[in-house]
Structure 1
Amino acid sequence: MTVGSLMPYKKYLYIFLILSPLIVMVLSLFIGKFTISPDDIIQLVIFNLMGAETPHPSVYKTVVFEVRLPRILLGMLVGASLSVAGAAFQGIFRNPLVSPYILGLSSGAAFGAALSLAVAPQFPVQLSALFFSLLAVGFAYYIATSRGSTPVISLLLSGVIVSAVFDSLLSIIQMAVNERALQSIVYWLMGSLATASWSKIHSTLPLALAGCAVIFLLRWRLNVLAMGDEEARSVGMNPELYKAVFVVAASLAASSVVSVVGIIGFVGLVIPHMMRMIFGPDHTHLIPLCITFGAAFMVLVDDIARAGMGFEVPVGVITTLIGAPFFAYLLRSTRSGGWE
């Protein structure tokens, strides 16, 4: 399927979704609790692009370029990474009900963050969460692999086992720490973009970009993997090799952003399936759409979280409230949870 073969309204929708991050980024610059007129924001951006001194108060520049813009860009990175990782895992498992956290990534990250926040503060939270999230995925893949083969059902079950282990370890930490440390852990687990900064973007971007790039460049191979191992072998493709490549790439993309913002649920489940329902299962188009619409969706939800109420709600709470009903719909509409 090519873009040109789409029905006219789908072709325009496709183009709109591809451009949606740019549209959402511009609109989101005007949203915030600190009141700055649209004219002032436009002038600030123009002056900044020209490299000229702005006549506006310095606090305006700080709010726009040190608070709002990093948060918007980090939100885009988070949404794109989780959505692409979700699409890759759904292709590998041939199941639309799979999320990036299926192999214990979120449980490992949560344990690592809790360990840093409450037990070993000398270790940075981001580094600890990243290390244990990748460790969890590595354990799950190792447990599932036998005699050079990694069956999908074994991967699924090993992910359940690893998640259970790290969830139990997290519970032990939560029971042992003081109230203040427990509050920090709980807030991290909710997932939030409130602490976004340029330094966090710089530290997250390389791994997230590398993981997304690998999936994007090899996306057509996901079409073959989604047909099953036997079909992949029949066309001369090594399914074990490419499953490992996609698991590593998706885990790098997802773990790098989770380590910074915490557990943000359902984005990696909802976005890929939503795009698949509209445009079909072809990953050559599905992956780019997940990158762009995932980025736009995450920023829109964060706009609601930071400006939709009198107080800021962790963005992970909003994505769960949106994603849970959608997940329930998938369970009822997908026969036996299989790949349709």
Structure 2
Amino acid sequence: MLNHHLEVKQEAVQRRRYCFLNTGLLIFLFAAVLLSFWVGYYPLSPSQVVTAFLSRFGYEGEILPQAVTIFWNIRLPRILSAVFIGASLSAAGAAYQGMFRNPLVSPDILGVSSGASLGAAFAILMGASNWLIQLAAFAGGTAAVAASYLISRRSVHSITLSLVLTGSMIMALCNAGVTMIKYVADPNDVLQQITFWLMGSLTKTDTRSFLWSLIPMSAGLVIIFLLRWRINLLTLDEEEAKSLGINIRLYRLILIAASTLLSAASVCLGGLIGWVGLMIPHMARALVGADYGRLIPASAMLGAAYLVLMDDLARSLLSMELPLGVVTSIMGAPFFVSLIIQKKE
């Protein structure tokens, strides 16, 4: 009786701590979003942000037309893109780490980033518009993951090992295709566009491109959020999970599909932005523990705030804007080294 009372009390303490952490993460995200409106070549003051926002709802007070244009057409789509890309990559990374039972797994393990890069590079080579480049990137990433999954089904090895090996093969093949396209591209125009896209950036993000990518990202986030408790079961051995009556193959397929939607939509919106899906789940795990019911929401909120702040750094660190993918790589590489050393110890 005493032990049961202590367990109930401990569970109540953990719930209060989790609610406190979630509230703190939401406040952190909200503060990062507000700060981002004031960062850039044309900083917006808090009053300008408020009046520009209210202008869309009939406010007719004193306001600069430039502030309204910058708020609605430039800053807001870019900040919301950073929020959803950060949340999507972090949630996908956490789901993959659980499915593959490997803390060093990232969302591009099945070749989604490489496939998206190949699709976008081919579209740029053909002179496609920005909308078609996004569509080609999304199709390329989805096709790469589908090929990895279908090929792995033919393997005699375990499904986890087969997926990792097949994903590595697809990744290498797509990277070779991107290299070939860069080799034949016009170095004065097309090659520069391909290189800039591959570095990752939110410079060309607008309302239309954000809304197009919002649909698959929202669908993927909802699916992973609803199935987040099932990821705990996927961390078990396959035989042990099957003994509990869990359809491992079905849940794995659904989560891979949802993670692919998140990763492919993120890449087609912002290009290659690495390390977020690898690094953020570890930070969230240090805060809320290894329970995926709590880890997925924490990863999404922390990843959203992190990428918003990284985009602020990319816009303000130097007189010229840095590629966002370069900034996240500079921040992520030391973390990866420390993670490897920690695991070894």
* Both proteins in one fold, TM over 0.5: yes
- 8 Å contact kept, 1:84–1:212: yes
Q: Which residue number corresponds to residue 119 of structure 2? A: 112
- For residue 182 of structure 2, what is the amino acid of its counterpart? Q
Q: Deviations over 1:252-274 (max 9, x none)?
A: 11101111210000000000111
Among 185, 201, 216, the alignment partner of 2:210 is 201
Indicate conservation of the 8 Å contact 1:107/1:167, yes or no.
yes
SS of 1:263 mapped into structure 2: coil
Following superposition, the deviation at residue 158 of structure 1 comes to: 0.4
Matched, 1:264 2:273: yes
Following the alignment from structure 1 to structure 2, what is the Cα–Cα distance between the partners of residues 281 and 136? 30
Write out aligned runs for 1:218-233 (5 A): 218-233=227-242
Q: How does 1:151-170 map to 2 (within 5 A)?
A: 151-170=159-178
Corresponding position of 1:174: 182
Shift in Å at residue 150 of structure 1? 5.8
Consecutive unaligned residues in structure 2, runs of 5 or more: 1-6
- Corresponding residue pairs, total: 335
1:10-55 CA-to-partner distances (Å, cap 9, x unmatched) read: 763342113332222122122221143333333333x336522242
Q: Percent identity?
A: 38
Taking a change above 3 Å as real, the CA distance of residues 19 and 235 of structure 1, as seen in their structure-2 partners, is farther
Q: Which moved more, 1:72-81 or 1:150-159?
A: 150-159
Aligned-pair CA distance for 1:329: 1.3
State the shift of 1:177 in Å. Answer: 0.9
Is the 8 Å Cα contact of residues 18 and 289 (structure 1) preserved in structure 2?
no
AA aligned to 1:144 is S
Say if 2:288 and 2:298, in contact at 8 Å, map to a contact too.
no
Q: Is the 8 A contact 2:87 2:302 kept in 1?
A: yes
Q: How many angstroms apart in 2 are the aligned matches of 1:7 and 1:333?
A: 29
Question: In 2, are the aligned partners of 1:85 and 1:100 still within 8 Å (CA)?
Answer: yes
Task: Give the deviation of 1:6 after TM superposition.
Answer: 2.9
Is residue 86–residue 305 contact of structure 2 (8 Å, CA) maintained in 1? yes
Answer yes or no: is the 8 Å Cα contact 2:113–2:263 preserved in 1: no
Q: Tell me how far apart the structure 2 counterparts of residues 150 and 256 of structure 1 sit (CA, whole Å).
A: 29
Secondary structure at 2:176's aligned position in 1?
A: helix
> For residues 108-154 of structure 1, what are the alpha-carbon distances to aligned partners after superposition, in whole Å with 9 as ceiling and x for unaligned?
01110110001352781001011011100011111111389961111
Gaps of 5+ in 1: none
Instruction: Identify if the C-alpha distance between structure 1 residues 210 and 62 changes in structure 2 by more than 3 Å, giving closer, same or farther.
Output: same
Secondary structure of 2:107 counterpart: coil
Matched with 1:214 is 223
Measure, in 1, the Cα distance between the counterparts of 2:242 and 2:157.
Answer: 13
Root mean square deviation, CA, Å: 2.2
Question: Which residue does the alignment assign to 1:76?
Answer: 83
User: After the TM superposition, which segments of 4 or more aligned residues of structure 1 sit over 4 Å from their partners?
Assistant: 1-4, 7-11, 147-150
* Range that drifts further, 147-156 or 298-307: 147-156
Matched, 1:95 2:102: yes
Q: TM-score, normalised by structure 1?
A: 0.93
Which among 292, 303, 320 is matched to residue 283 of structure 1?
A: 292
* One-letter amino acid of the structure 2 residue matched with residue 324 of structure 1: A
